[in-house]
Structure formats: structure tokens, C-alpha cells
């Protein structure tokens, strides 16, 4: 295995163009596990840790440009207001040591359905900034996940950053695991209210071959909220609407039975999380909840 250590982003792009099989490594959360377990023996390993600007972020007018290597601990600390859903998801990533090293770029690169960031990115709305020597493109997050551990990157492309819409309303993230910390998701759910566009967006993790949105559920809820004038009158969402939303989220799942959980449990749990996160975000939108975000 050859170890490449580009000193700059340009060098990294050139190296990736020359060696498209090179596997980029930053925090190493996924890559080192695969290497240690001998599931993967890449010809080239490309260390991106010398490229400082991958660990930086910019808060723009409408979105945050988050460097691929910004560690989860930094997101929790510094971007809670702008990216509340992702900050909550970051809390659930592994252990403090891993949160200090791992970043969203790794989650996107691996594109595992169990990656903790995905539901939050899907719910918030995001674009992946992919770059190669051929140029830069922004891949909408909805088009990024292509299959089990497959993403939309070309072989010569690297993830430089992800552009995430700044929260314009309450966001929530929930994840089910069989222990209370340091656990891979059995399933996960992200929800973001977008009062500016009067829409809601969802994200579901670990309950389908890829991270997905529950589009029928979103459409149902958008229509129900619009119809009842909820965005304006701030009324409590009726239990039947919440239940139907939850049922549609469950129905969006296409889960499997595995050692972490059964398909039917995953479907059930996604419904429960959908209903609860809808309640929390809506209460927060109505301004009645003291703080429903959860503190830790």
C-alpha cells in the first residue's frame, strides 16, 4: 500500500486524478476499521490531514460551507445555532475521541446507510462540494446516495466541503441504538421545519439501502399544515395528523433484519421517532416549549 500525503488541495486533486483508486483518509473512523479488519486493502491511501482548510467552515447568508474534515465535536460546539439537526446528530457519533477526529466528509465518502450525519443533512437540505482536476460541482444531497455504500462521486473526485442550509426553523434528530452511547444506529430520523418555504424535510438512516427522505410523509404534512393554516395560526398539530405522518415515515422504510435489529422494529421505531420529533419541532416553532432540543 502506498501512502500519499498531499500538502495542498491541488496536490490532492492531482494525486486522485493520477490514482483514482486512492482512498482518502481524514479522521479514519471508517477507513481504519476496514483496513484493520482486512475488508479493504487499498492500493493507495491518501492522507488529507495536511490540508488545513478542510477543517474550516464559513457561515454564509443562507448556508454553512462545512469543510469535509471539520470534526463533529467542533460542529457541536460552534454550529449549534446554524445547524441544530447536525449538531444533535454529531452528539450521537461514537465517543468523544472519535468525535474529535471524525467529520461529515467521512460519513459522505463511506455513504453507509448508518452514517449519523445523513438524516440531518437530508432534512436540512445540503449540497456536496465535489472537486477534481476537471473542476468543481455541487451535488444535491438527494442525489448523492446511490446505493449501499455507494455515492455519486466520480473516481477522480474528492469531497471538499458540504454546503448545508442554515436552519430557518426548529430541527431535530433521533437515533435508536441498543445502548445509551457509542452505538451504531439501528435506525435514525432527522426532521427540519422550514418556515420560510413552509415545508418540512425528513431524513431516515439505517432503514433502507441508502439514507432516504420520506417524501410522501413530507408532502402529506406540507399539505396538512398549509390546509389548516398551521404555519400562521401556530395551532397544535392534531394527533391524527402526527400519526399519519409517522405511518408514512414508517412506510418509506425498506429495512432489513440484521444482527442489530429486525426490519419490523426499524419500521416501527422510525414511526415513533417521526411522531416525537414532529411534536418537539412544532412545539418549538409555536414557541411554547421551554427547550425541547435536549441538553447534554
Q: Which is nearer to other proteins, 137 or 243 (CB)?
A: 243
CA 23 from chain centre, in angstroms, equals 21
Q: How far is the CB of 73 from other proteins (least distance, A)?
A: 13
Q: What are phi and psi of 185, to 5 degrees?
A: -60, 130
Q: How far is the CB of 205 from other proteins (least distance, A)?
A: 11
Q: Which is nearer to other proteins, 136 or 262 (CB)?
A: 262
The answer to whether the CB of 85 falls within 8 A of the CB of 190 is yes
Q: Is the dihedral of CA 242, 248, 251, 256 positive or negative?
A: negative
- The span from the first CA to the last CA of the chain, in angstroms, equals 42
| Residues whose CB is less than 8 angstroms from the CB of residue 109 and which lie 6 or more positions away in sequence, other chains included | 24, 30, 151, 153, 159
SS3 category, 163: strand
Q: What are phi and psi of 160, to 5 degrees?
A: -95, -40
Q: How far is the CB of 108 from other proteins (least distance, A)?
A: 20
Q: How far is the CB of 151 from other proteins (least distance, A)?
A: 21
Q: Which is nearer to other proteins, 219 or 257 (CB)?
A: 257
Residues that bind other proteins (CB under 8 A): 33, 36-38, 88, 91-92, 172-184, 186, 259-262, 264-265, 267-269, 272-273, 276, 279-280, 290-296
Q: What is the strand order of the sheet 2-4 is part of?
A: 2-4, 44-47, 23-25
Q: How far is the CB of 191 from other proteins (least distance, A)?
A: 12
Q: How far is the CB of 116 from other proteins (least distance, A)?
A: 9
34: region left, alpha or beta (phi > 0 left; psi from -120 to 50 alpha): alpha
Rounded CA-CA distance 144/217 in Å is: 21
Q: Which is nearer to other proteins, 101 or 160 (CB)?
A: 101
Q: Which is nearer to other proteins, 159 or 278 (CB)?
A: 278
Q: Which is nearer to other proteins, 7 or 296 (CB)?
A: 296
Amino acid at each position: 500500500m502506498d501512502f500519499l500525503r498531499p500538502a495542498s488541495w491541488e496536490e490532492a486533486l492531482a494525486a486522485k486524478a493520477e490514482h483514482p483508486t486512492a482512498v482518502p483518509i481524514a479522521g479514519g473512523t471508517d477507513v481504519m476499521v476496514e483496513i484493520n479488519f482486512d475488508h479493504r486493502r487499498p492500493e493507495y491511501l491518501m492522507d488529507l490531514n495536511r490540508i488545513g482548510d478542510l477543517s474550516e467552515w464559513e457561515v454564509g447568508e443562507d448556508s454553512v460551507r462545512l469543510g469535509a474534515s471539520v470534526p463533529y465535536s467542533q460542529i457541536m460546539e460552534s454550529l449549534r445555532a446554524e445547524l441544530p439537526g447536525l449538531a444533535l446528530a454529531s452528539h450521537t457519533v461514537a465517543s468523544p475521541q472519535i468525535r474529535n477526529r471524525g467529520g461529515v466528509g467521512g460519513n459522505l465518502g463511506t455513504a453507509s446507510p448508518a452514517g449519523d450525519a445523513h438524516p440531518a443533512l437530508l432534512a436540512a437540505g445540503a449540497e456536496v462540494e465535489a472537486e477534481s482536476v476537471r473542476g468543481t460541482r455541487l451535488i444535491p444531497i438527494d442525489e448523492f446516495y446511490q446505493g449501499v455504500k455507494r455515492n455519486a462521486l466520480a473516481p477522480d473526485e474528492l469531497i471538499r466541503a458540504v454546503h448545508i442550509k442554515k436552519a430557518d426553523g426548529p430541527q431535530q434528530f433521533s437515533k435508536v441504538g441498543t445502548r445509551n452511547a457509542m452505538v451504531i444506529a439501528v435506525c435514525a430520523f432527522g426532521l427540519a421545519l422550514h418556515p420560510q418555504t413552509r415545508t418540512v424535510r425528513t431524513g431516515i438512516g439505517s432503514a433502507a439501502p441508502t439514507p432516504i427522505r420520506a417524501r410522501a410523509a413530507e408532502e402529506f404534512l406540507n399539505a396538512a399544515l398549509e390546509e389548516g393554516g398551521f404555519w400562521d395560526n401556530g395551532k397544535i398539530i392534531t394527533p391524527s395528523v402526527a400519526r399519519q405522518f409517522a405511518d408514512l415515515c414508517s412506510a418509506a422504510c425498506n429495512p432489513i433484519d440484521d444482527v442489530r435489529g429486525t426490519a419490523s422494529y426499524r419500521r416501527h421505531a422510525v414511526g415513533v421517532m417521526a411522531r416525537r420529533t414532529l411534536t418537539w419541532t412544532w412545539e418549538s416553532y409555536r414557541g411554547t416549549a421551554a427547550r425541547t432540543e435536549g441538553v447534554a
